[in-house]
Amino acid sequence: MPSLLRATRLEAHYGWTKVLHGLEFAVEAGGITTILGANGAGKTTTLRAVTGMVRIGGEVTFADRRIDGKATEDIVRLGIAHVPEGRGTFMHLTVEENLRLGAYARRDKARLAEDFERVYQYFPVLAQRRGQAGGTLSGGEQQMLAVARALMLRPRLLLLDEPSLGLAPIVVREIFHIVRTINQQEGVSVLLVEQNASMALELADHAYLLETGRVVMSGLAADVRKDAAIRRSYLGY
């Protein structure tokens, strides 16, 4: 399968501190790839590097076009939706306004109503809360709102930054289930960054393991799951 997103010799710095040391990874078109790693391994930075939120070195291509060095706003317009760490809710705007903003970069505004229907079908709770301020939603609801807002872009690639963080397992399961549905029914490719390795490996087809800004292992998710070292360090059995 051809890769939709490919990073080559990817580097990133925060001030003088180098956070990514020449990462190589790819996301297949139509696939779900996960990047696993502990706190501080560089997972969030990797996603921020893809959408131009940090200065980077190396190359990033999306659908065979170089996107490194482009502005975030322009990368989004190519069809990459980034659900950021901390969910990025517009706290004082209503749920509906949050979703309208998700579609801001799209040109075919005619199909907006249809897309509202679609995301409300995935997340009925958001339909109930549509007039409420984003900040009044629970953590799980805000995570759903973040995914829904990303879907309003009709993205080709969805970047998810630790959607499980701080949520009850049952909510995480629900969100992961919807991500799988979106991937299968709409062909949206997914790059998922997670600490919750067992759930991420269940969902993904490819996995990378990150340690202090380097890829230390990669392969099919099923193989990574079976690896003894991974099981000991990340899965706990």
State the residue for tokens 């872009």: 153
Binding track over 166-205 against another protein, x by CB under 8 A? ----------------------------------------
Asked if 92 touches another protein (CB under 8 A), the answer is yes
Residue 148 CB, nearest approach to another protein (Å): 12
Q: Cα dihedral sign for 93, 97, 99, 105?
A: negative
At 185, is the secondary structure helix, strand, or coil?
A: helix
Please provide the distance, in angstroms rounded to a whole number, between the alpha carbons at the two ends of the chain: 33
Instruction: Name every residue whose Cβ is closer than 8 Å to that of residue 36 and which is 6 or more positions away in sequence.
Output: 43, 194, 195, 197, 200, 201, 207, 208, 209, 210, 224, 234
Q: Which span sits near another protein by CB under 8 A: 10-18, 76-84, 113-121, 182-190?
A: 76-84
Asked if 93 touches another protein (CB under 8 A), the answer is yes
Residues 149-168 that bind another protein (CB under 8 A): 149, 153
Q: E-assigned strands of the chain? A: 3-14, 17-28, 32-37, 56-62, 65-66, 80-83, 157-161, 189-194, 206-211, 214-220
Residue 82 CB, nearest approach to another protein (Å): 5
Asked if 117 touches another protein (CB under 8 A), the answer is no
Between 105 and 178, CB nearer to another protein: 105
The number of helix segments (H) and strand segments (E) in the chain equals: 10, 10
Size of the site for another protein (CB under 8 A): 24
How many whole angstroms separate alpha carbon 4 and alpha carbon 2?
7
Q: Which span sits near another protein by CB under 8 A: 2-10, 20-28, 57-65, 83-91?
A: 83-91
Residue 60 CB, nearest approach to another protein (Å): 16
61 pairs with which residues across the strands?
Answer: 6, 66
Q: Which of residues 72, 132, 195, 198 is near another protein by CB under 8 A? A: 72
State the residue for tokens 């990514």: 20
Residue 232 CB, nearest approach to another protein (Å): 36
Q: Which of residues 38, 54, 101, 125 is near another protein by CB under 8 A? A: 101
Q: Which residues bind another protein (CB under 8 A)?
A: 51, 53, 71-73, 76-77, 81-82, 84, 88-93, 97, 100-102, 104-105, 149, 153
